[in-house]
Amino acid sequence: MSGEFSGYVIEGLGLKLDLSGGPLIMGVLNVTPDSFSDGGKYIQRDAAVKWGLEMMGQGADIIDVGGESTRPGSEPVAVEEQINRVIPVIEELAGRGDKPVSIDTSSSAVARRALAAGASMVNDVSAGRADEQMFELLAEAGCPVVLMHMLGTPANMQVEPCYEDVVGEIAAFLARALERAMAAGVHRDRVIIDPGIGFGKTVEHNLEILCKLGELSCLNRPILVGTSRKSFIGRVLGLESPAQRIWGTAATVALAVTAGVHILRVHDVAQMRQVARMAYAVRLRQLPKNASH
């Protein structure tokens, strides 16, 4: 079976992510006024910090803080604005919480400030393409990084996305991104890959990726998947509101875990943690070692 868990421990910048016990849960915290999933619910620092701590309490293993929406059609947010949004939240969560914080950004300047504020991981949806200094920073910091596939940019990624072999092309793209990162001094063992479901893909592309996630194990890196509340689920189920897509999300999480995915980026932490643990037990065909009795 692809995507074995026992071989991966991600370490760097004081962070240690042990994947031997099953999939980890990354909680989404959008400190933006225009997120597709929550519409700016956490743009204020106090609300964002409160929700981040709540997600930790619900079982999130990582909190992913972002100050720039990457929904389809979104435009870039100035570096200083991103910094103003995320740094106070990261400082509070890193100081008060008991779980690591990730910064969701494609800007090396934002990432640098976030790491200094207490973040210990970078989630770059551009895989280093948006900022040529990103890999240099990651090598210097020695922190884990998520490299994601995206066709184009958030502003244009959903304009007639086309592939001859969507999973094969994603794998090739991520292999090249990994090579570029390593050439800049990023340690291979600190890289996590993400196929970028919903980022420059049609509904059919997203469904095919979910069916063939195991093929990405050829890159020999841990896999992160983020399907949570996304529009392709709404299209399949006929649900307009992202908040209604929890059960569709649950189905994709279960499929991802049985395919061997290592990290799941979700909005509904408590619910998806249960789904992931159940799917992992099925995958093992036994009770996980650290399961509650």
The string of pLDDT tens digits covering residues 100-157 is 999 999 999 999 999 999 999 999 999 999 999 999 999 999 999 999 999 877 777 6
Which residue type, as a one-letter code, is found at position 194?
Answer: D
Is pLDDT at 47 greater than 80 in this prediction?
yes
Q: How far apart are CA 125 and CA 106, in angstroms?
A: 6
Q: Which CATH class is domain 24-284?
A: alpha beta
pLDDT computed for residue 5 by the predictor: 59
Q: How far apart are CA 18 and CA 24, in angstroms?
A: 9
Q: Give the global pTM.
A: 0.93
Q: What is the pLDDT of residues 249-290, one digit of tens each?
A: 999 999 999 999 999 999 999 999 999 999 999 999 988 776
Tokens of 244: 């209604």
> Catalytic site residues?
230, 265
**Which of the pair, 216 or 33, is modelled with greater confidence?**
216
CA distances (Å), origin 11, targets 68, 140, 158, 291: 26, 14, 34, 24
Residues 6 or more apart whose CB falls under 8 angstroms from that of 116 comprise none
> Helix 246-258 crosses helix 203-211 at what angle (to 10 degrees)?
40
pLDDT computed for residue 290 by the predictor: 62
Domain ranges in the chain are 24-284
**Which of the pair, 5 or 232, is modelled with greater confidence?**
232
Residues 6 or more apart whose CB falls under 8 angstroms from that of 132 comprise none
Which residue type, as a one-letter code, is found at position 191?
Answer: V
Q: How far apart are CA 162 and CA 4, in angstroms?
A: 31
pLDDT computed for residue 39 by the predictor: 62
